[in-house]
């Protein structure tokens, strides 16, 4: 009877969890194998080395937060407001490890120290912004306002979990709902 191999995607997910928790330095083969409950030998069936795993983590993350999100938004159809509303819902859910805020922040921190990661992050950010521009342009003809709405939307996506401010008599969910309504007006 052949033993089942740990799927490649599990190594990538576990690598992203380690990256999210401790930065790229925390992505180490032996600890990943331990957390997966397997020997590290299986790692080398998929990846040449640690650098190859880190590249796969970034490739997978990039695909998940750009093209996969855009495909989900577009597959539901509807006008630009409907698609923007769907985008807010999908991004707000953040249940997937690849799209979680902790992964996003870890990669942004890594990009501060690694120019190749910074270039990839710039590409991801530009793709996200261009997609949002294409939607906001359908509901707003003023290019300055389009850019402002995109920046506010994107800033909320990146920074919402970092903001700990109180909102008077409202809770964060209420304020986010008001913000969403304002952005979609």
Per residue in 25-44, pLDDT tens? 999 999 999 999 998 888 99
pLDDT score of 59: 97
Query: In the predicted model, is pLDDT for residue 93 greater than 50?
Result: yes
Angle at 89 between CA 20 and CA 81, to 5 degrees: 135
pLDDT score of 94: 67
Domain range list for the chain: 8-183
For 155-172, b/e burial (b = at least 16 CB within 10 A) is: ebbeeeeeeeeeeeeeee
Mean pLDDT to the nearest integer, 114-132:
98
pTM of the full structure = 0.91
Residues contacting 40, CB < 8 A, separation 6+: 29, 30, 32, 33
Residue entry with tokens 């998940």:
64
pLDDT score of 1: 42
Q: Please give the CATH number for the structural domain made up of 8-183.
A: 1.10.357.10
């Amino acid at each position: 009877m052949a033993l089942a191999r740990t799927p490649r995607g599990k190594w990538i997910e576990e690598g992203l969890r380690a990256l999210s928790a401790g930065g790229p330095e925390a992505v180490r083969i032996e600890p990943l194998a331990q957390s997966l409950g397997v020997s590290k030998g299986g790692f080398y069936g998929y990846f040449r080395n640690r650098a190859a795993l880190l590249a796969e983590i970034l490739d997978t993350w990039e695909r998940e937060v750009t093209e996969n999100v855009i495909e989900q938004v577009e597959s539901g159809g509807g006008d630009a407001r409907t698609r923007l509303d769907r985008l807010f819902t999908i991004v707000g859910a953040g249940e997937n490890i690849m799209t979680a805020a902790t992964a996003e922040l870890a990669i942004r921190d890594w990009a501060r120290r690694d120019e190749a990661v910074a270039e990839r992050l710039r590409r991801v950010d530009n793709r996200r912004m261009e997609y949002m521009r294409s939607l906001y342009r359908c509901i707003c003809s003023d290019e300055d306002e389009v850019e402002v709405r995109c920046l506010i939307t994107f800033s909320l996506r990146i920074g919402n979990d970092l903001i700990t401010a109180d909102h008077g008599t409202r809770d964060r969910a209420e304020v986010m709902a008001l913000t969403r309504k304002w952005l979609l007006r």
